[in-house]
A and B are shown apart, each in its own frame.
Chain A
């Protein structure tokens, strides 16, 4: 079966800095994969490479078997790749509803504004923002904006969803809600790549985890195995901890 997403030896440097080095991995349709790594490992750069914000310096990116590196962002978005931003990027002066409607209209295939708004209302209901629909996006709390990001991505009818730190800054109650949403999306069969710092999310939501360190892929496997992998521990905590038997939780 063709992988939903495939990266083949993708690399990207900025001037002298190599942000991503020869990374290769793939996502099968319906998989929920976590992407973890210390700060500065290149995770967001990787997402930017997939969504067309940057072109790879070398290597190729395939979406459903079709090569997408080099295409402009809006084309990739219309092909079915949606992402959330680590630092939320709403359209501040539009209503919450129109924020999502824009995504439905320009990438989600809605025929006109009316249909786009109807679909937007459904997505808002799914993430629990229905009663905020008429408010300007700038008026939402951080948790609300994160859910808005999610609703916008879903309105694009994606076949691949890239969640970039969508849970950062949420309190435990909000986190439970977010995890529930992700679980329901996974049940629908959506292919999801989750960039996360919170191990709780990674271990409960992801079937597989991929680890990035200094732009290099250092591990790829089940969450339990990854967390015991000495290279991963070394990356996060330093070599002192890696040499001890049994990784800390």
Chain B
């Protein structure tokens, strides 16, 4: 990656909240949030190829951990760290239970975990406020400052997730995850500790998501189970990664940004059919762009259209 481009990107991301208005700051914050979710899913779904639908579970767990912690007076950043920590521990335990499953069974198990957690949150009214939701303590800060604060937190988290993605890609872990995806039995025959590596990938898919959930909770000040454990929180990151290119470093970010753009367009203009349009996007994606946007060889396309 050319250093000039990287420097430009950093400058844009860092300077953004100081030059644009509140709507665009909000939009950029969501771009960062979506990037975190997509990059996280990429570890277990894109690199290892295990179809995880557990993102909602990790997000909701992080959101409630952060919210409950803050409700007990824990300062915000500490609450966010606690959320990341809990998500990490939960993923380790869950991974031990379900990473031995493959394909459909793994997908179903990971999906159902989120559903169970949602129902638990609904039922444990004393701790979580149940279906009535949970309010978070309000920050005594200027609205504009808050907007920049949360944007900064999410951008920082996204940068961290991207950095880890890059590290994994260059490190032996990345190669190990790739060979597990291509042939799990042969992988262990050449010395890869498949259990350990899969668990690492699964945990990585949870840590940042947990933190994101907590930051989200602090940002919106009110959460309820149906919101933060929504199954769409598991599905959208998958669509984003498939859109951008699974298993690549920048694919998830590209996919997240493009997806957000599409979503905003649809939400503002076609509210009543936005779910259906998401469905349509998915169907088109599966048939037209199975390897994602980054797999498009633009030069080859241009060559085809040039006159002989």
Contacts and interface: CB of A to CB of B under 8 A. Distances in A.
A86 B229 CA distance: 47
B182 interface: yes
B34 to A, nearest CB: 27
Interface in B155-205: 170, 172, 175-176, 178-179, 182-183, 185-195
B182 A113 contact: no
A74 interface: yes
Interface string B285-306: 0000000000000000000000
Interface residues of A, number: 27
Contact of B188 (A73, A98, A105, A152): A73
B179 A91 contact: yes
A73 B175 contact: no
Contact of A74 (B170, B183, B194): B194
B191 A107 contact: yes
A149 to B, nearest CB: 9
A152 B190 contact: yes
Interface in B53-84: none
Contacts of B183: 89-92
B220 to A, nearest CB: 41
Nearest to B172: A105
A238 B249 CA distance: 61
A106 interface: yes
A192 B190 CA distance: 17
Contacts of A152: 190
A101 to B, nearest CB: 8
A87 to B, nearest CB: 11
11 contacts: A85-B186, A91-B178, A91-B183, A92-B182, A92-B183, A101-B175, A103-B190, A106-B176, A106-B190, A107-B190, A107-B191
Which are the 5 A-B pairs with shortest beta-carbon distances? A107-B191, A106-B191, A89-B186, A103-B190, A91-B182
